[in-house]
Amino acid sequence: MKIALSTGGGDAPGLNAVIRAAVLSAVNRGWEVVGIKKGYAGLLGDDEVIPLTAESVRGIAHLGGTILRTTNRGNPFHYPVYLPDGSCEERDRSDEVIANAKALGIDALISIGGDGSLGIAQRLCEKGMKIVCVPKTIDNDVSGTVTTFGFDTAVSTALDAIDKLHTTAESHDRVIVLEVMGRHAGFIALHSGVAGTADVILIPEIPYDIEKVCDKIRARDKSGRHFSIVVIAEGAFPIGESPSIHGAHKVGEAERLGHVAERLAEAIEGRTRKECRSLVLGHLQRGGQPTSYDRLLAVRFGGAAVRAIAEKKWGHMAALQSPHIVFIPIKQVLGETKRVDPSHDLVLTARATGISFGD
């Protein structure tokens, strides 16, 4: 038996722990393991395929990033090809992927990635490739699983930032707006905001009214609380505007257009005359050591993926349905972005403790 591993999409804390657990589980079964570098690029001659042994994965469980590296541009069905004239076009190179995997003697693949990677895996499975998946999403927006690794670390990093901003906001009587990840789903903003006792939380699932946001800040001011903390998901948008304007930009575009946090801070300062500051947490949320929760979940996913191969669960992904890891068909979750349910107990409790969602 010879299996391969690859990681695709944005990195998330815990990827290396998945890799380590999968490699050790496979090696201890007597299987051979290889790693495909940079998503599928290793299978298309644009990067390497390397052997993975117990030695390769020593001491990596607590490291952020991925030893297999990753990319957002590795969809073999729309693979970027750079032409001699400097331009770039996309080609379907999926058959090459399948042929090259076969040529390398790869019997099965563990694909670790987000919504995009799951879709690719599904299509490759339909063409006969044997793939099991491990879901990966910082934003917690993959359906079918309570959560995935990386999310707890991202929330923890966001909470740490909120704690830091709290003391400085309070000392200076300021409003501070913190922008966190979450283009389509506001889980990071909601979880870190509630844990950090933010005053306002704005998420894509609940369009906000800037006046309601300012009302909350003014009410606090009147009651002697001269500072406020606003946590906003990058995909949040005002009532009446289309999400596409705000949330659905291309990667990197946000940096050029200006972040939502800056625009919100300006709007609040203009309306309340209070000193406002903004901060975009950005890539800090992807990096660093995974929390204990994420390391454990990653290990469980890695071990489960190898069992899934032994059980021939092609086209399935590992999922946490507490307290168990189960395997569910990828088809079931594809295209179903998990989003915050405004009637969830967490939202109710947040409102009950006085947090405003700007609605």
Applying the rule CB under 8 A, the residues between 171 and 200 that interact with its own copies are 171-173, 176, 191-192, 194-197
What is the C-alpha to C-alpha distance for residues 127 and 109, in angstroms, rounded to an integer? 14
How far is 320 from 107, CA to CA, in rounded Å? 26
Site residues for its own copies, window 307-346 (CB under 8 A)?
Answer: 307, 321-325, 344-346
Pick the piece of the chain touching its own copies (CB under 8 A) from 18-26, 113-121, 204-212, 233-241: 18-26
Torsion of CA 306, 311, 313, 316, to 10 degrees: -50
* Residue 194 or 217 having the CB closest to its own copies: 194
**Helical axes 260-272 vs 210-222, angle rounded to 10°:** 50
Select from 4, 5, 20, 308 the one that contacts its own copies (CB under 8 A). Answer: 20
Exposure string over 318-332, b if 16+ CB within 10 A, otherwise e: bbbeeeebebbebee
Does the footprint of its own copies cover residue 170 (CB under 8 A)?
Answer: yes
Window 104-163: residues binding its own copies (CB under 8 A): 146, 152, 155-157, 159-161, 163
| One residue of 1, 81, 126, 168 binding its own copies per CB under 8 A | 168
Task: Classify residue 4 by its DSSP letter.
Answer: E
> 102: which 2 tokens?
């076969």
Q: Which 204-263 positions form the footprint of its own copies (CB under 8 A)?
A: 252, 255, 262
- Concerning whether 107 is annotated as a catalytic residue, the answer is no
- Three-state secondary structure call for residue 12: coil
Question: In the complex with its own copies, which residue's Cβ is closer, 125 or 232?
Answer: 232
Binding flag, residue 293, its own copies (CB under 8 A)? yes
**Minimum gap (Å) between residue 279 Cβ and its own copies:** 5
Number of residues that bind its own copies (CB under 8 A): 87
**216/300 with CB nearer its own copies:** 300
Separation between Cα atoms, residue 175 and residue 180, nearest integer Å: 16
65 binds its own copies (CB under 8 A): yes
Catalytic option among 11, 47, 115, 139: 139
Q: Any contact of residue 278 with its own copies (CB under 8 A)?
A: yes
Nearer to its own copies, 108 or 125 (CB): 108
Please identify, using beta-carbon distances, which residue of 69 and 183 lies nearer to its own copies: 69
96 binds its own copies, rule: CB under 8 A: no
For the segment 28-57, give every residue that binds its own copies (CB under 8 A): 28-29
Burial class for 60, CB neighbours closer than 10 Å (0-12, 13-18, 19+):
middle
Query: Contact between 93 and its own copies (CB under 8 A)?
Result: no
Ramachandran angles phi, psi of 157, nearest 5°: -65, -40
Least distance CB 152 / its own copies (angstroms): 6
Which C-beta is closer to its own copies: that of 22 or that of 43?
22
Residue type, 111: S
Residues 6+ apart with CB under 8 A from 179: 232, 233, 234, 259, 260, 261, 278, 279, 280, 281
For residue 323, cis peptide bond before it (omega within 30 degrees of 0)? yes
Catalytic residues: 139
